Structure 1
């Protein structure tokens, strides 16, 4: 009987030793070792009561302005750190040195405009989110060589150039989000090292043209978003290598026509996978290629009847799909 009591005592002691304590104002979930501090009046990192067994930590919509390496050292098993919509304005150079298992870091919606060199060197990050901050540039020195990151989100910043040097350190990248920046140029070598890239989002930028070879190394690309830019023309061979592409958005640009053969390689497009709406299409002889392609592939086009003519005057507002080939002679 005594031995059973001893065993029970040891078991309970083990549970207590591994139990997840909880900081004030936060919620804790024992089974998944998660701590959530959401929309609470925190002004400092919640060090008090934070268990060293924590693997997931979310601090969202608080007044925290800084976080130190010493504070993160208290949770050496941390795998995911989500710091959304706080007031962080800087990070220390060795912030991640004490969290060697961290794979996800989300800094969405803070006040970051610059970061120290090597800031992301010390953790095996696979997902890095810098969305909705104030970065005007992304420095290659932030990352180690041959980084393990597969997901990078730098959308909603003030980038004027694609961070080519930084992207060269990301050979495993599968998803790149650069939407809602101020990008004007996508040079020929911008994506050259991203052979595993599957999703590229460049929505809501100021791109006027694209180099003919910029997508040649992106044979695994399946989602390409170019909506709401200033693209006035596209090179004939731009999509030549994109035989796996499922979704392509070109809506809300300045396209008046596309070159013959441009869409021919896109045999893998999903149903409704191509969006061409809200462009000033000129329905003349140069539109014959697009007209024929639409007739054969209308199931692959999102709302094909809304691909509308902006000229010539006699056809303004007409659907390109509704025209006959004789209408395209002018």
Structure 2
């Protein structure tokens, strides 16, 4: 009986929604309306509509009459509809409106006299060129403002001064050339001005931002770090600029900083890292560093120094990094790697040394390594002392080296090996490799590559999959059936369940 009573209460409302739902729109019981490819603003909209989403339509102009009847409207999203203008006061009477998004249109101005209760305003991908203080008058509840990918060339500190509740400001992709300060947004936590043409910031610009946590200045023309950055910062992104040095005075107040991204600059040195006592992630790929930065904080967990000019790796550079888990030194010119240089990194799980000048695997690597990438070096031979400590290793990439043989006896030191990459080596496919093949199969290791270079009759074949090589070597009776069973049994005994290792997919071993 209760079910029938509920249906009785809901049925009239459902009928009302169905009766007033415009063509090419979907309406639901939560009073949400979604319209797609309409030629004009939908008419006969229910006055109880709370959320209206319109996309990929043809609505050149928004008028007061288009929304005036929707007094309950809380969220209005109009995207990719070619809208060029909004009639003055169109949204003023919508006292319930909290979210207004007009993405990917052709607006040249911010709509005037927006309702005072607005909390989210997103106007990305339009043609807005100027921001006026009057545009934001009385918008004291706006928490999120996104005006990315417009045509704004300059930002004045007074323009946004009325946005006293603003927490997130996005101004990416405006070709912005200048800003003036200070920026008096006392509740701002997120500020992104990426992909502009900013060459510098005035000294006072950031001084009032005491709550700022995230600052993204990626893709500008900065030659030095902005001055007087707030102590509250947790993340600072300065990638793809023209930084030539990082000075101690730029860093000394950033004791809360956890993430520092400086990739693709012109840095030859980094000073002041010792002040970053909370740093967990340092990205300095694509610079001109000849040595690994010294005096890095013990909190560091990930460091990316790839694509630099580093020749030597020394133990003193890692003596305090007991929390380091991920180290990327690929695409350098490393030819000298001090024995045991990483022994003071007892948590290291990922080590990338691809595209360097190494002639052997570095000795005394941490036993915690789960991934080791040595692709594109000059390694000719793998020796027992190089791998006898790597019992946790799950992924080993040896692509594009000069290795001709792989002793099956080495594999007993790698009980957890799951993925082995061998492409691009000049393998000498003797029956010794057949022994290695059988051990790898018994261990269940996924092997990629293994193309024979010699002898001539096997050239181009794969020693892991070639049936001909198997037939040639089978008469050697390398293992009896009983011995084969014993290999599998021992492989399982040496290979307990894999412990879950904290490994992010920082690089893809499946790609060349």
Number of equivalences: 298
Matched, 1:166 2:295: yes
Matched, 1:104 2:235: yes
Matched, 1:299 2:418: yes
Give matches, 1:99-178, under 5 Å: 99-123=230-254, 124-139=256-271, 142-145=272-275, 147-163=277-293, 165-167=294-296, 170-178=297-305
Q: Do the aligned partners of 1:22 and 1:51 also contact (CA within 8 Å) in 2?
A: no
SS at match of 2:171: strand
Question: Which of 66, 84, 88 is matched with 2:218 structurally?
Answer: 84
Shift of 1:50: 6.3
Distance 2:311 2:145 in 1: 47
Distance 1:211 1:281 in 2: 22
Distance 1:172 1:296 in 2: 31
Shift of 1:146: 6.5
Q: Deviations over 1:63-89 (max 9, x none)?
A: 110023310123221000010000011
Q: Deviations over 1:258-298 (max 9, x none)?
A: 1114223333333xx21111111133xxx425775699776
SS at match of 2:260: strand
Distance 1:257 1:103 in 2: 45
Distance 2:184 2:276 in 1: 33
Distance 2:461 2:335 in 1: 26
Question: Which of 277, 280, 292 is matched with 2:399 structurally?
Answer: 277
Contiguous gaps of at least 5 residues in structure 2: 1-115, 120-138, 151-159, 423-446, 477-512
Distance 1:297 1:102, change over 3 A: closer
Shift of 1:222: 1.0
Shift of 1:319: 4.7
Distance 2:205 2:361 in 1: 50
SS at match of 1:128: strand
Distance 1:195 1:217 in 2: 6
Distance 1:255 1:54 in 2: 52
SS at match of 1:274: strand
Distance 1:290 1:157 in 2: 41
Distance 1:52 1:190, change over 3 A: same
Q: Do the aligned partners of 1:232 and 1:254 also contact (CA within 8 Å) in 2?
A: yes
Q: Which residue does the alignment assign to 2:96?
A: none
Shift of 1:144: 4.2
SS at match of 2:407: helix
Distance 1:49 1:160 in 2: 38
Distance 1:17 1:137, change over 3 A: same
Q: Which residue does the alignment assign to 2:367?
A: 242
Distance 1:26 1:51 in 2: 22
Length-normalised TM-score, structure 1: 0.78
Distance 1:49 1:210 in 2: 48
Matched, 1:232 2:359: yes
Contiguous gaps of at least 5 residues in structure 1: 1-11
Q: Do the aligned partners of 2:176 and 2:197 also contact (CA within 8 Å) in 1?
A: yes
Distance 2:421 2:166 in 1: 42
Q: Deviations over 1:235-270 (max 9, x none)?
A: 4x422x323x22111111111111114223333333
Give matches, 1:1-330, under 5 Å: 17=140, 19-20=142-143, 33-45=167-179, 51-91=185-225, 94-96=227-229, 99-123=230-254, 124-139=256-271, 142-145=272-275, 147-163=277-293, 165-167=294-296, 170-235=297-362, 237-239=363-365, 241-243=366-368, 245-270=369-394, 273-283=395-405, 287-288=406-407, 292=411, 299-302=418-421, 304-308=447-451, 319=462, 321=464
Q: Deviations over 1:107-137 (max 9, x none)?
A: 0000000233331111211111111100112
Distance 1:247 1:292 in 2: 15
Distance 1:231 1:47, change over 3 A: same
